[in-house]
Structure 1
Amino acid sequence: MKNESWPEGYERRVLASVDSTLSEAGRVAPTLSGPEWILALEQTAARGRRGRAWAMPPGNFAATLVLPIDEAPGQAALRSFVMSLALRDAFVAATGREDAFALKWPNDVLLRGGKVAGILLESVGAGARLTHLAIGIGVNLAAAPGVGEVEEGAVPPVALKSALGTAIAPESFLNLLAGAYARYEDQFSTYGFAPIRTAWLADAAKLGEVITARTTRDAHVGTFVDVDAEGQLVLETAKGRITIPAGDVYF
């Protein structure tokens, strides 16, 4: 049953168990008439960025939003920032703690410096034509994966319950997240990326500090100075200012 605050125009399905909500999104996307949230209470083959495994202890949150898309892939990809803002708002609504959360480029949410949520975007379509965007979200609501289950050097995982004492069920968190996302999606569709970018930068982790950004080929050390109009990371390095379209950030 949908909560009374559930956003108009969005459908929802809740699955007891599935291999991956992202995989399910790819299977059902051609049958959907509009945006739909897919929530799974258990995932048996969850995945993160670049095919990495995503651990999901019981009670944690795993969902994918499937959006019909008729725009360039670069524009669609900016929804990682839209979802980051929605996650932040959902966390604040659940905890009342605006000071506890920060946004890590390109697609993580931090709680007191630890990773509490991650986002993964995948396109759905035939050939070069993008028909749907699947936005996968994993949140450590109840428990954090062990250190051995995350990549070496990555931000350590943290759980909402242990860090702040907030216990919330996945379906209740989905109600908060779906409402927040719908508001930011309306803003993005109406006004473009500029206000989303401004809001994201206001809560950006390590803005103005030295970080390391690793791409598939190189590692760059520099001061995190901006995110540009295309969502690229902007670093001031010893060799000058550079932009990084995709990569991983390490503190």
Structure 2
Amino acid sequence: MKIGNYEIPDIRLSEAIQDVKKIFDKVKNTQDLTHYSDIAVMLDYKSKIGGAFYRRLNSLTLFGLLEGRAKYRITDLGENISYPISEEQKTELSSKAFLNVPLWNKLYTKHGKQLGDNVWFDIKNITGISAPEAQAVEKDIRKWYLDDVVFVIEKPNIKTGEQNNSMLEDTTKFNENTKVEESKINYQETLKINHDTILEKIPFGQDIIIYLPKGNIAKSWEKAQRYMKLYLEDFDEDHSKTDSLEKSIGDTEEVYEEDIL
């Protein structure tokens, strides 16, 4: 659901965690890109892929559990939240997923776990929608927020503002650590993927790095180009389908919002 420039997940965090675990149990890694139609089957949308499915898929990206477009991969957060090493870690990761939703993040910074009266006023100021619009969605926003915020465990003897800042710092550290780990992979000179194959790093400027099997680089590059061409053709086709479906969903958004409200 979109309110002003802010998007709110159409499913609750508890459902999102269950969904990403279903996907992860099928995909079994965080590297492979999975087509949205395959994800639909994993989530039991076997006969028809429509607006409800795309809103569900978008909710997983809003919580930071999936990333991509047309083809998706499970994030590190999605992996770890599916198989936490302890209840404490699951609570911490669930809090991070909650704070990934910008509107939830801002409301939590001000209110913590308990929303005050007339929260429509905050909704209006944050999202930029009109007062009547904010009052119309206040009841649903309150319910959805309170359903999701139960995953946040506040630290004892800390004021709400300090607690929120601490959680935001933890979220920032988590994202920074993820970037550091990814950068370690990017700057390895070689990668060994099995006993016989060693990949050699070939950088293209600062932003693009590819790995090709050591040895006949020219032949490997020619083969990689053919695969890339096929991938891009498939991506362009998926991209066009997704845009068309998203436009269709947008054209019927009023109907969905009436159902929700």
Q: Which one has the bigger strand percentage?
A: 1
Higher helix share: 2
TM-score above 0.5, yes or no: no
TM-score between the two structures when normalised by the length of structure 1: 0.29
Computing the radius of gyration from Cα coordinates, the structure with the larger value is 2
TM-score normalised over the length of structure 2: 0.28
